[in-house]
Structure 1
Amino acid sequence: MKKLLIVLFIVMVLPLFTVKANGVPYITFTYSSTNGRFVYTQDAYIPLSRTETFGSYTLDNPQDITFDDNDIMYIADRDLGVVIVYDEENQNTQVIGEGILEGPTGVHVGFDGNIYVADFITKKAYQFSKNNQDQYDLVATYEKPLNSPFFTDEDPFDPTKVTTDNANNVYVLLAGNVNGLAQYKNDGTFFGYFGGNSIPASWQNTVTFLFFDEATRRNLFQIIPDPVYNLATDQDGLILTTTKGLDGYLKLNIANFVLNQSVWGFDNNEDIYVGPYETIFAVTSEGYIVEYGPDGSVLFIFSGTDTSGIQGLFQNPTGIAVNSKSQIYVVDDQTSSLQIFVPTSFANLVHNAIALYQDGRYVEALEPWQKVLEQNALFDLANRGLGDAYFAQMNYEEALYYYEIARNRQGYSDAFWEVRNDVLLNSGTFIVIALFGLLILSIGGKYLKLIDILLKPFHMLNDKTNDIKLIKELKFGFYLMTHPVDGFYGIKRENKASYLSATMYLFIFFFMYLIFIFETNFLFNPLIRSQIEIFEQVISIFLPFLLFVLANYLVCSIRDGEGSFKDVYIATSYSLLPAIIGLPLIMLLSQALTLNEAFLFDFGMIIIYVLTGFYLVMTVKEIHYYEMKATVGNILITLFTAIMILVVVFIVYLLLGEVVQLFLDIIREVTVRG
C-alpha cells in the first residue's frame, strides 16, 4: 500500500510543475530511509538536446541504444532495419546489418568488442565484428535450435534483446518466453535457459501446487512465471533483468541465483543500463528515469510523461544508455527521437564519492560524502558512505550515527559490536565490584536477613493496597499467570476481576505495544517512527481484540459455552499480561544486541507469542468449560466468525454508501428541477 501511495504521489506531483528557470521541466526525487518516503533533492540531470538525425539517417522507430568503451553510440531502429553507429567526437555515421537485418530491436556491445543484435522480424540474433576496413562483418547467428527438448516446432522464437557475459556467452531475450533467457555459446550453440522468473509464493499458488499437476496449473489457472522483459550486463559480466509487473530489477550471479536487487522500483521498466560508476539506470514506459546505486538503493528519480512536446520528457521511451561522461541518452519511438541529459555538479559529486566508495577508499570518500550531505542531509548513500568512512577510521560512535540515519542494519550492527566491546573493557573494574557487591549482599541476606530488610517497604505497601479493590484485581493477574485454572475460575465464579481492571490491562498492553514499536532497536524493528500512525495502531490492536471477544461469545453461546460476554472480555484482557511484561523487556534487550545475537530477540518474541497464545486457549477452555478438542474447534470457528463479521460490516458499509449517494442524487435532482 505504501509503495502504491508513493507511485501515485510521483505520478500526480511531477506533471504539476512547469519548466523551471534552468530549463528543467521536472522535479528530482531521492529516497530517504529515515523518513521511509521519497523527498525532493537537487537536480541531478539537465536535458541538453533532442535530435532525430545522424548524418544521412533519420530515426524512424528506435528500439534500443548502447555505447562502447570509446563512447561510440549504437541505435537499433526497427523500421530502418539497421543499427546506426554514430561517433559523436568525429561526427561520423555508418550502419550495421544492411541487407541482413530487417527489424532490429536490441543492440549490445560485448566484452570482446563485437556488436550483438536481436532482430524480431528475422527471428534471429546476430554477432557482427569490425574488419580492417572499418566495416562490420557477420560472425555468428543465434536462432531457434532444431531437435531441442527446450523447443517444439510450434514454440515461437521472437528475439527482442541480447546481451553477453564476460565469457562471451550470449543471452537472447525471447518475447513472452517464461523459461528465461535463451543461452548460447559464442559460436551459436544453444545450451539452455538462464534467469527465468519464479512463480510468486502466494497462498493461491501454494494450494494449486498441492492439488493440481503442472499442466492444469498452466492451462486452467494460468499459473506461470512472468516473462523477462529486458536485460543488461554489468562490468563484471553479471546479468540484470527487469520484468513488467515486478518492481525494479534483479541481478543474477553465474549460478542463476539473485545476487542483488533494487531496494525500490517501478514495475513498468522499459530498459535498463549499467553506467560507468556501476550505477544502474532504468527508464519506465511513463518516462521516469531512475538511477540506482551499486547496492540497489535509489539515487535519483526524474523526468516523466510528455504531453506537449517538452524537452526532457517522453511519450514512449524504449531504450536508455549512459556514456563514460555519465551523460544519459534515451530513445523514444513515439517521437522517433533521441534525448540527451547531462549530469549536474551534484550528480558528479555523488558519482565521485561512489567511485571512491566502490574502490574501498572509504576515508578518501569522506569529504565528498560530507559535501553531498551539505546539499541533501537525507541522501541515503551518503549517510551510509560516511558510516563506512568513520568505521574505517575506527570512530565507531560516529559511524553508528550515520548508519542509523541510513538504516544500514549490518553496518550499525558491526559498529555497535565495537562500541559495546569498548564499554565492556572500560567497565571491567565496575563489573567486578558490582558482582562482588552482589555476592556480599547474598551472603549478608542469608545471615543478616538483608533481603528481608530491603523488601520490607514493598511488603508494607502491598499490605496497604490489598484493601483497594482495583489494585487487588490488577494483582490477581499475576496469580492467574502461575495458576491459570484457578485464576480463570476466580474470574468466572468469584468475581476476582472487573470490567475496569480488564480495560486497564487492555490499555496498559496498548501502551507497552507503543513503547515497543517506537523504542525497539531498528536492527529488529522494520517500522519507521515518523511513519507510525497512532490511529492505525489503535485499529490494529483494539479491533482484533473486540472481534475475538465478540465472535467467541457468539460462537460459544450456540455451542454450549458457559461463559458470559463479561467473562470472555475480562479473561481475554488478562491473557495479555505476558505481552505486557515481555514487550518492554524485549525492547530493552534489543538495545544491547547486534545482528549476531538476533536469535535472542527472536526467542524472546516466540516466548511472548507462545505464552499469550497459551493463556488465550486457556481462556476459551476454562471460561466455557470445554475439553481441549472442543476448545481448538471453538477457536477456529471464532476466527472464521470474526472474519465474517468484518466482511458483513464492509458490505453494509458499501450498501449504505450507495443508499446515501442515491438520496444525495435525488436531492440534487429535486433542487435542480425546482
Structure 2
Amino acid sequence: MNNRRLWMLPALFLLLAATNLVLPSARIAASQLPYDTYYKDGFGQLVRTQAAYVPASVIGQDALLSPDAAALQGGEAKARALNQPKDLFVDERDHIYIADTGNNRIVHLDANGSLVQVLTVAESPLKKPSGVFVDKQGDIYIADTGNNRVVRLDADGKLLKVFGRPESSYLPASFKYDPINLVVDKRGFLYVTTLGAYQGLVQLDPEGKFIGFFGPNKVAFSVFDAFKRFVYTREMYQRELKKLPGAIANATIDRDGFVYTVTKEIETDQIKKLNIAGLDQLAGKSDFAALQANRSYGEVLHWQRDMSPQLNDVTVDASGNITVVDSIWNTVSQYDLNGNLLFFWSSDVITATSKTGVVKTPAAIAGNSKGELLVLDGTNNLIQVLRLSAFGKLVHDANALTQEGRYEESEPLWNEVRRQNAQYTPAIIGLAKAAYKQEDFERAQQLFYEAGVTGGYSESFWQNRLEWFQRNFGLLMNIVIAASLAFIIGRKLKPRLQAGARLRLPAIGPQSFTGRLSHLLVLVKHPIDGFYAIRYEGKASLASSLVILTGAVASFGYMEASTSFVFNPKVQIGVDLIPITVQFLGIWLGWVISNYLISSLLRGEGRFRDVFYSSSYALFPIILIGIPVTLLSKAMTLNELSIYNFLKLAIAIWIALLFVWMVQGIHNYTFIEAVFIIALSLLALTIIVILIFILIALSNELVNFINSLYQEVIIR
C-alpha cells in the first residue's frame, strides 16, 4: 500500500505543475479582454460579471486584399478594401453581406470570411448603398440610398426588380424617400427604413405598392406642452416648431415574423418588437416593469449619463435575445426576448489602431448560427467577431429554458450561474421562478424579494397568505366570535361604564395640553369651526402643534420606509429618510411662510402662529390613516393595489380639504377665496424654492471664486 502511494506522488506533482501552467494563462487571457462586462438591475445597481462574449477574430480586410479577391472583381489591378461600410447581414448559411457604401457595392463573404462575390449591378450601378437583406430564397434586397430606391437581385447578382418611390395619395409630396435599411417578411412584404422618416417604416407589398407606415414612434407630451395647449392661441401654435417623434434608425426581423426597430432620438422605448399589427410586444413584459414605467434601452455606465445612448442597429438570435449597438458610447447591450437585460459591455476606443474585440464606430451588428456576434466597424472598415463565452452560453441556455416555462430544467443551470456570480440577478429570478413552479412559495418569495421583482413576490406572498389562512381558519373564526361577543357586551355595559368614568376621572380642561390635542376630534367633525377656534379661542399651542408635526413627520417616514415591498420596491435597497424628512419639513415650512405672506397682503386675519399651528393640525390624517395603511400593506398583494391606492388618495384628499378649510377658518375667507389664496401661496412657494436654488448656486460660485483667489495667492 505504501509503495502504491509513493508511486502516485510523481503523478500528483505533474498534475499540479500542469495546473499551475494552465491557470495563470487563463487568468491572463481573461484579464486582457479589451472591455468589461456588466449587468444592471431594476434599481440601476451595477454588477460586474464574467465576459459574455470574447473576441474571436477579425474578418473582412484580408479577404478583400487577396489575389483571389482581385480575380473575383473582374481582374481589377487591385482589390479595394471596405470604405465606410454601413450595414451587415448574415444569411442562414452564415454567409456575410456587407453594404460597402463608400465603394458603391455589396460584398459577399462566406462563413469563413473569404470573398465570394462583389455586387455592383452593372446594368444599373449602385450609389451609396446603406442596407442589405437576403431572404430565404437567396434573393438580395439592397437599400440603394444614393439612387433613392430599393433593388432586388437574385443570388448571382442579376437585377430582378427596382422599387422606386411608391406612388400613393397617402404619401405627402414633401415625403423624402431615402431608403437606408430594409427587412422582408415571409410574404415578401418590404419594411423600408428611410432617412429621417418619423412616420415609421414604409411598408410595401411584393410589387412595390404602398401599404402604409408601420410602427411609428409617439410624440413625447410633457407638462409644458399641456400648458402651451391651454394658453396658446392658434397663431402662436402656427409659429411654433413642430414637435415630431423620433425617426427609426434601423430594423431587423426574426424567424417568427416580429419586426424589431431601434430609434436614436428618444430616451425611452428605443427598442420595439412589433407584431403584424404594428403593436409593441416589449411594453410591460420586463421583470422590472413595476420599477420602470418608462423603459429605457441602451445601457450606459454611471459616468456616461451626460449623454443619452444612440442605438444604431439591432439583431435577434434564434432564442429571441436582442442585441443592440450604441454609436455614441460604443456599447453592446443584450436583452432577452421580454426585454430583460442580460449583459452589456463597452471598450476603450481612444487609440486609433484596430485591436481584436475593439470597435471604434459600430455601424451594424448581426449574428450567425453559431451564436457569434459580428460587429461592423465603420471606421476601421472591418468586422469584429465575438464568440459566446462559457458563462454567456450557460446564461443563454438557462434563460432559454426559463422563457419556455421549463423551470425545473433550468434550476441546475441557474444554480451554477449563481455559484459563479452570486450578484447576477437573472440567476436569482430564474431560481425564484423554479421554486414557484415547485410550489416552494416561501423560497420563491424570498428570492423574488432579493431580486427586486414585485410581481413574482406578490404572487408568492398571495400563495403563502392563502396557506396561512387555511391553517389558521379555526383560530380566526374563534377570534371573530369572541370580538363580536365583546362588542355586544360592551354596548350593554357602555352607559354604566361611562357614568363610572365621569365620577372617577377629572375633567380635561380645554386649555390644557391634553385638551388641545383632543381638539383634533373637533377638526374631524367640524373642520372649519375647529380652525376658527384655533384662531380665536386658543385651542392650539406651540407644544401641541410641535407634537402633531413631529408625529406627522415620523408617520410619513414610517410610510416611506416600511410600506410593503409590493407597493414600494425601494425598501429592498433601503430608504434614506434624511433627505425625505428635510424635503417634507422644507415644503411644509415654505407653505407656512408663503401662506402667511399672501394672506397678509389680501386681508387675511390669521397671525403667523395661527398659520403655523393650523398647518400642523392639518397633517393629522397622515398619523390617523397613514400608519394603519402602512401596516395593512404588509398583508396585501398587487391584487389589492386599487384598495391601497384608494386609501393613499383618501389621505391626500383629506389633507388638501383640511388646508382649504384651514385658510377659510383662520383667515375668514369664503371657499372660492380660500382656493385662490392657496393657489397664490403655492406660486409664492415655487418662487421661494427657485430663489433658494439660485442663492445656493451663487454662493457656490462665490466660494469657488474666493478659493481660486486664495490658491493664486498661495502659488505666487
TM-score norm. by structure 2 comes to: 0.84
Give the AA of the match of 2:438.
Answer: Q
User: Which of 356, 359, 364 is matched with 1:314 structurally?
Assistant: 359
Q: Which residue of 2 aligns with 1:284?
A: 326
Q: Distance in 2 between matches of 1:218 and 1:331?
A: 44
Partner of 2:56: 48
What secondary structure is seen at the aligned counterpart in 1 of 2:278? coil
The 3-state SS of whatever aligns with 1:430 is helix
* Aligned mates of 1:587, 1:113 — CA distance in 2: 63
Secondary structure of the residue aligned to 2:688 is helix
Q: Does 1:66 align with 2:89?
A: yes
Quick one: which of 114, 123, 134 aligns to 2:139? 114
Deviations 1:234-275 (A, max 9, x none): 332122222113244122232223221574323311111112
Matched residues in 1 for 2:347 and 2:567: separation?
37
Partner of 1:13: none
Q: Could you say if the C-alpha distance between residues 193 and 327 of structure 1 is closer, same or farther in structure 2, counting changes exceeding 3 Å?
A: same
For 1:516 and 1:342, the matched residues in 2 are separated by: 49
Cα distance between partner residues in 2 of 1:423 and 1:632: 49
Tell me the SS of whatever aligns to 2:131.
Answer: strand
Q: Give how far 1:655 is off.
A: 3.4
- Whether 1:390 and 2:461 are equivalent positions in the alignment is no
SS state at 1:167 partner = coil
Aligned ranges for residues 430-509 of structure 1 at < 5 Å?
430-447=475-492, 452=497, 469-509=512-552
Q: What secondary structure does 2:379 align onto?
A: coil
Once the two structures are superposed, the pairs formed by residues 259-270 of structure 1 within 5 Å of their partners are 259-261=281-283, 263-266=295-298, 267-270=309-312
Residues 397/460 of structure 1: CA separation in 2 closer, same or farther (3 Å cut): farther
Instruction: Identify the residue that residue 258 of structure 2 maps to in structure 1.
Output: 238
Q: Which moved more, 1:487-496 or 1:621-630?
A: 487-496
Aligned match of 1:342: 387
Q: What's the counterpart of residue 596 of structure 1?
A: 639
Question: Residue type of the partner of 2:469?
Answer: L
Secondary structure, aligned partner of 2:323: strand
Decide whether the 8 Å contact of 2:181 with 2:192 is kept in 1. Answer: yes
Residue among 131, 137, 145 paired with 2:158:
137
SS in 2 for 1:94: strand
Question: Retained in 1: the 8 A contact 2:121–2:159?
Answer: no
Calculate percent identity across the aligned residue pairs. Answer: 29
Amino acid at match of 2:538: N
Contact 1:383–1:405 (8 Å) recurs in 2:
yes
One-letter amino acid of the structure 2 residue matched with residue 385 of structure 1: G
Classify 1:356/1:495 alpha carbon distance in 2 versus 1 (closer, same or farther; 3 Å).
same
1:27 aligned residue: 36
Aligned partners of 2:362, 2:158: CA distance in 1, in Å?
30
Residue aligning to 1:195:
215
What is aligned with 1:399? 444
Q: Any stretches of 5+ residues in structure 1 without a counterpart?
A: 1-18
Say whether residues 1:150 and 2:171 are aligned partners. Answer: yes
Amino acid of the structure 2 residue aligned with 1:649: I
Alpha carbons 1:288, 1:305 under 8 Å: kept: no
- Alignment of 1:303 with 2:335, yes or no, is no
| Aligned-pair CA distance for 1:498 | 2.1
Query: 1:595-631: CA deviations, max 9, x gaps?
Result: 2221111111111111111111111111111111110
Alignment of 1:240-255 (within 5 A): 240-247=260-267, 248-255=270-277
Aligned to 2:3: none
The alpha carbon displacement at 1:179 in A equals: 0.9
Structure 1 residues 369-395: Cα deviation after superposition (integer angstroms, max 9, x where no partner): 122222223333222222222222222
Moved more, 109-118 or 68-77: 109-118
Using the size of structure 1 for normalisation, the TM-score is 0.89
**What secondary structure, in the 3-state scheme, does the structure 2 residue paired with 1:27 have?**
strand
Amino acid at match of 2:50: Q
The RMSD of aligned alpha carbons is 3.0
| Post-superposition offset of 1:183 | 0.7
In terms of mean alpha carbon deviation, does 623-632 or 441-450 score higher?
Answer: 441-450
Per-residue CA deviations over 1:174-201 (Å, capped at 9, x if unaligned) read: 1111111111012221121111111101
Q: CA deviation at 1:428?
A: 1.9
8 Å Cα contact 1:111-1:165 kept in structure 2: no
With over 3 angstroms needed to count, the CA separation of the structure-2 counterparts of 1:405 and 1:140, relative to structure 1, is farther
Check conservation: 1:578, 1:608, Cα contact below 8 A: yes
- Offset at 1:29? 0.8
Q: Is the 8 A contact 1:273 1:321 kept in 2?
A: yes
Does the alignment pair 1:575 with 2:618?
Answer: yes
Distance in 1 (alpha carbons) for counterparts of 2:235 and 2:362 = 37
1:535 Cα deviation (Å)?
3.2
Q: Which amino acid aligns with 2:610?
A: D
What secondary structure does 2:126 align onto? Answer: coil
Any stretches of 5+ residues in structure 2 without a counterpart?
1-27, 70-78, 287-294, 299-308
Distance 1:80 1:234 in 2: 29
The 3 A distance-change label for structure 1 pair 419 and 670 is: closer
Task: State how far apart, in whole Å, the 2-side matches of 1:124 and 1:305 are.
Answer: 37
Task: Name the SS for the 2:257 alignment partner.
Answer: coil
Give the aligned residue type for 2:37: T
CA contact (8 A) 2:529 2:665 kept: no
- Greater C-alpha Rg: 2
- Equivalenced residue count is 648
Distance 1:476 1:215 in 2: 56
Q: Which residue pairs with 1:85 in the alignment?
A: 108
